[in-house]
Structure 1
């Protein structure tokens, strides 16, 4: 079989879906390469800062590593702005959705919320509420997100900071994104219904 025969999904057979699943699994193995390529493309996007978006991402990851962050958080710092090109108004959620199948829910939540938390530094200049994040103050990962933004995100626009190159982080990107998606040992127990990550992504705890 080279292609399926159906033209509507409802007409597909078990054999066809097994065939497609095999192709999708093979394609998924290339995710680390696609993420690395997407990071490289950040070199030529969103101008106006003293560093490129790639430089900012690398600097954030370098700072996280220097502070002793674990591997999942370092990778999260590296790709946290990966959605700037295709999701400029919800880039945080874009990056969080990439991470979600491969890291613990805390990391997903922090990246999902970091755009909101960053507002504290500038929203008042643009007529927004810099304290909008306060509604999440009782969330168990609130302070971790505050720290992510303060230590690694908002501080990483310094062209003089000794930033490590993408090649330094490549093995870690390949390690994290080569994991089996939604493996319980990394993301916890989940179901197709409401999971710990779904709760985490919602912005509130239960």
Structure 2
């Protein structure tokens, strides 16, 4: 198995997390955590994103694999704050180009609900449920502040891949396909 040249644990840690918990269901969706991550990363790769953003797409929901809450936690009124858990875990392993879009992907959903007509209606029911726990649509001042952030564009791109990455049975490359992107994006 390939590893990052000067930090062999980074790639191995990612692969191990997906091996251990990737088969768990992605909330109330019909795909697993691994399928969801692979679909998002595949979309990013197909659109020519740089390795850091492809890795962010692959790992944007890694926080779901870092807690012991049940898959239906949002249905029980619990926000698992997976974006923060994921960002904390990624912080020592990857640079801001990976970390920040992951940290901001929930904020991006809140932003798009506030600014894009029809976005809310297109969300899946589980995504609408979690949005209510995550603060709902942003207000005008939150939107303005969000747009000024240096990772605004990357976070919104990631959010769109996240929304599309819920297709049952969609063929994607295997996890190992993304190892070169993990290696390229890892903190040096």
Q: Which consecutive residues of structure 1, in runs of 5 or more, have no partner in the other structure?
A: 1-27, 181-206
- Counterpart of 2:56 in structure 1 is 76
Report which of the two structures shows the higher radius of gyration computed on alpha carbons: 1
Which whole-Å CA distance do the structure 2 matches of 1:159 and 1:124 have between them? 20
Offset of residue 107 of structure 1: 3.4
- Counterpart of 1:146 in structure 2 is 156
TM-score by length of 1: 0.62
Tell me if the contact between 2:11 and 2:182 (Cα under 8 Å) persists in the aligned partners: yes
Tell me if the contact between 1:83 and 1:91 (Cα under 8 Å) persists in the aligned partners: yes
Q: Which consecutive residues of structure 2, in runs of 5 or more, have no partner in the other structure?
A: 1-6, 70-79, 114-119, 121-127
- Specify the SS of the correspondent of 1:131: coil
Following TM superposition, the consecutive aligned residue runs of length 4 or more in structure 1 with deviations greater than 6 angstroms are: none
Offset of residue 58 of structure 1: 0.4
- Counterpart of 1:86 in structure 2 is 66
Which whole-Å CA distance do the structure 2 matches of 1:126 and 1:105 have between them? 27
Say whether residues 1:111 and 2:102 are aligned partners.
yes
TM-score by length of 2: 0.67
Which whole-Å CA distance do the structure 2 matches of 1:175 and 1:155 have between them? 25
- Counterpart of 1:38 in structure 2 is 17
Matched pairs, number: 151
